[in-house]
């Protein structure tokens, strides 16, 4: 089932590589299936096209933290928190700060 969704999302992205929702969904599919490197690559590609997509920072950091890649996660969280502050997304800022605190402690 996940492979079907991945194929569908890749097809959408072939037509429109800058489709933020499809790129985010693809990153989530990879993350949910344990493909951390591929998931993070998709989230980073999304951020290249849409640097204000705050959830991409958070989800990439979560995937990295789950793989014990804390330094990478911390950097993404710091970047994400700055973006959340800049875009006035207090909810995302709070979630990322909580994750950052749990990693650093």
Give residue 3's pLDDT: 86
C-beta of residue 64 within 8 angstroms of C-beta of residue 74: no
pLDDT tens for 2-17 read 789 999 999 999 999 9
| Domains parsed from the chain with CATH numbers | 2-104 (1.25.40.10)
Q: Among candidates 44, 50, 63, 53, which has minimal Cα distance to 92?
A: 53
Supply the pTM of this predicted model: 0.93
d(CA 81, CA 88): 10
């Amino acid at each position: 089932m996940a492979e079907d969704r991945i194929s569908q999302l890749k097809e959408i992205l072939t037509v429109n590589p800058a489709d933020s929702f499809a790129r985010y969904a693809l990153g989530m599919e990879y993350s949910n299936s344990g493909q951390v490197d591929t998931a993070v690559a998709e989230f980073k590609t999304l951020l290249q096209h849409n640097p204000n997509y705050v959830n991409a920072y958070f989800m990439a950091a979560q995937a990295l933290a789950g793989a014990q890649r804390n330094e990478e996660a911390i950097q993404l969280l710091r970047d994400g928190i700055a973006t959340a502050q800049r875009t006035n997304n207090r909810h995302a800022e709070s979630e990322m700060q909580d994750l950052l605190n749990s990693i650093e402690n």
